[in-house]
Copies of this chain bind each other. A is one copy, B any other.
Amino acid sequence: IPEINTQEHHAMTFATAFVSDAQYNRNIPFKTSPEAVRLYRLYNHWMMRTATYFFIFLNLSLALFEEPAVYPLPFLATSVLEVLCLLVFLGRLTHFAKVTLHNVFWKDTKNICIMVAILLSLTDLAVYGVLRLYGVGSIRWSRIVRPVFLINFAESRQIRRAFRSIRNTLPEITYVFLLFTFSLLMFSLMALKLFGERNLQTAEGLPYFRNYLEIVFDLYVLVTTANSPDVMMPAFDFSSWYALFFIAFVIINTYIFMSLFLAVVYNNYKKHLKNEIRKLAYMKRRKMVEAFNLLKEEEGEQFVVREARWKQLVKLVAPDTSSSHRELLLRISDDEQKGFVDKKSFVQLADLLNIQVVTLRIRRHPLARWAPALYGSTPSRLLRRAVRHRAFVWTYDAIILINAIFIALDEESPYISYAEWVFLALYIIEILLKVYTYEPREFFGKTQFWNWFDTLIIIAALTATILNATLKSTMKYNSQQILDIVFILRVLRLIRIVDSIQRFQVIMNTLINIVPTMLTFGGLTLVVYCVFAIIGMELFHGKIQYFPANSNVPHALECGNPALKDSLFARGRYCKNNFNDFASSFIVLMELTVVNQWHDILGMWIQPAKLYFIAFHIVMVIIIVNIFVSFILEAFFVEYSLEKSEVETAIEQKIQELGMGVQEDELQQEQLLDNMESAEHELEGDGGTKPQSKGLVFKIASKRYRTVDALLQRMFEAEIPLEDEGPSFEEILNLSPSSAVPRSLSSESAA
């Protein structure tokens, strides 16, 4: 019966692929040949993904080494590296093509984008190289194509989603923007009529509001508030009533229109996010149904998956789960122990696998095993009790406060640098005591953010301080870099005090939850910055030079550019804000994002600077910063509504019903540890028979460390009834934000 076995094997392979896709929320419609599935699993291997990211960032960071370079490398080196990156991208794309269905692959714009980008980069590189050989200078314009790889590789779904969200927002933004432009033009016209013939002068003695285009630009700057009182002062000095013009302008354009931009972006972001989450949830359900259909067997009147197959599947999908963990999963899926899993329970498997199971195997402290007499002695017990006491926490909060005062005091006095050693010792003692009291693997659990934070900070501070002391005593030399790091670490230690105040925790939760998605915005910003930095370097490279304060170079104070004499730019000593290399460009763009003084920073004597800035302002401030704000608003609201009402998926409820769950929030950490201790005592009494099976308990991952996406998805999944299979793959892919809830769902909820 080898043929049946092969078939069985194939079914299992596909089912495994489907389930692990569902588990990790991937949705590549892979080919249905065993070979393709194997390739597909390789494609999704974490090493392949990491390598892809590495080459994407290598490719982006080439700008640091190419002319104009922060760290110059010969052209040959950078071009070899670039070709290498492009080859890797091509390889990855080919791999992807082998995995996916042909028609899907060629319909997907992101694949086309990657191919075009590779082609463009290679062409440009070749042309530039040849021209360089003949001594003809040209522009490496294809460098602005590089962020395309970051956007379009399947791994960066979050960034692509953000870009899709921007694309969907564009039409609406455009209408608001046109109206805003109209308002700007109207106000400028009024300003020209009102102030144009008054012969007024600005504080710098330049003519004030004479030229229409300059007025439009000045008022655009006023919308960003960057030239706020200055642009008003000449008119205000002339007559106080003219202030009304500027007040009306600011209210309408800065306050109302900018809020309207936020409203439009936020509204679209929310709409789009919900649609994406809905797609993901349905896709997951559909994949699980497909897997079920592959493995199902008839049992009485229904189709089911038998226990043996189910176990084999779990073993294939999650090879590193323990057998007791698998037993528990099975018990949840087949709670009546009938020897099979029905469809309804089967589709939950992906979520079940995603539940972090911290096997609270009621571990005994290693010392209790290695030196039970010592660890169980009265002084040791008293010590452990003391460490668990609230007063211990308070004592260390007080120590942190005293430390803060010492840090603020003058560093010169030798007593204070001795005190620093004392504090460092105290913190180390704290960590050692805690590790002595609590089970180490528990103490350094995945969700113990603050324990990790503390320990890393202290170890880093210890290392740096010792390093510095060694350098000082041996070479009589204070390394400034190390000292700086020591300073920062010392101050960072103080942050911990926030976590001991209960009321700050909701806000801290929001902030911690934001971090993963912040990376998406980091990516988004990186893309925009890269493009603008490369354009900026081409346009403004070398126009401004930076010389140290004591330089003798002529025009050092005017940044090497006589045209800047007496300008606000030179007066503010902004010379280092230039586009001379990639790193400086990034910092200038950061300053432009913050908006203030941008008209000075950009040196308005360079003509294209105005258009460059307006483009940057529209893209970065009006769109991306607003998406960022929308994201924080949404994260806060989700966190807030989660605080109010518990969102639990069906599985979590089931685990709770079975009495197998310990939800971390229900038990405060101390209680949990106390429980563990009391269990430990029992075990000691029992003599330690079968502690494993008794102590294994599902611990549902802490609410504190979830991303907004995951939260929203849980909310939405809680709304889909368990029986619902969801729409077909094709329907899911075509879901639009405006389309109603799909037929099957609405009919379910109507029933």
Interface residues of A (CB under 8 A from B): 175-176, 178-179, 182, 186, 189-190, 192-194, 197, 203, 212, 225-230, 232-234, 236-237, 240, 243, 247, 250, 254-256, 259-260, 262-264, 266-267, 404, 407-408, 411, 484, 487-488, 490-492, 494-495, 498, 503-504, 506-508, 510-511, 514, 546, 548-549, 571-574, 576-577, 583-584, 587, 590-591, 594-597, 601, 625, 628-629, 632-633, 636-637, 640
Contact = CB atoms under 8 A, between A and B. Distances in A.
Contacts of A590: 243, 247, 250
A637 B411 CA distance: 55
Nearest to A522: B251
Contacts of A506: 175
Contact of A259 (B228, B574, B628): B628
Nearest to A193: B487
Contacts of A511: 256, 260
Nearest to A486: B193
A751 to B, nearest CB: 18
A640 B637 CA distance: 20
A514 B629 CA distance: 22
Contact of A491 (B193, B495, B591): B193
Among A192, A197, A491, A640, residue most surrounded by chain B Cβ atoms (within 10 Å): A491
27 contacts: A175-B503, A175-B506, A175-B507, A179-B498, A179-B504, A186-B494, A189-B404, A189-B491, A190-B488, A192-B408, A193-B407, A193-B487, A193-B491, A226-B596, A228-B596, A229-B577, A229-B591, A230-B597, A233-B572, A233-B576, A234-B573, A237-B546, A237-B576, A256-B632, A260-B507, A264-B636, A596-B596
B636 A260 contact: yes
Contacts of A636: 260, 263-264, 267
A633 B596 contact: no
Contacts of A266: 633
Contacts of A514: 256
Among A182, A186, A229, A632, residue most surrounded by chain B Cβ atoms (within 10 Å): A229
Contacts of A212: 408
Contact of A498 (B182, B262, B411): B182
Contacts of A574: 229, 233
Contact of A262 (B190, B576, B629): B629
The oligomer's copy count stands at 2
A262 B635 CA distance: 12
B237 A549 contact: yes
A590 B243 CA distance: 10
Contacts of A507: 175-176, 179, 260
A180 B384 CA distance: 36
A566 to B, nearest CB: 12
B596 A262 contact: no
B487 A194 contact: yes
A559 B495 CA distance: 45
Nearest to A583: B240
A186 B587 CA distance: 23
Nearest to A171: B503
A507 B629 CA distance: 21
Nearest to A632: B259
A253 B583 CA distance: 23
A400 to B, nearest CB: 12
B267 A491 contact: no
A625 B251 CA distance: 11
A591 B228 contact: yes
A530 B716 CA distance: 48
Contact of A572 (B203, B247, B504, B548): B203
Among A263, A484, A548, A597, residue most surrounded by chain B Cβ atoms (within 10 Å): A263
Minimum-distance CB pairs A-B, first 7: A228-B596, A193-B487, A263-B636, A259-B632, A225-B596, A203-B573, A190-B491
Given A190-B491, A237-B576, 4 more contacts: A193-B490, A197-B411, A237-B546, A267-B640
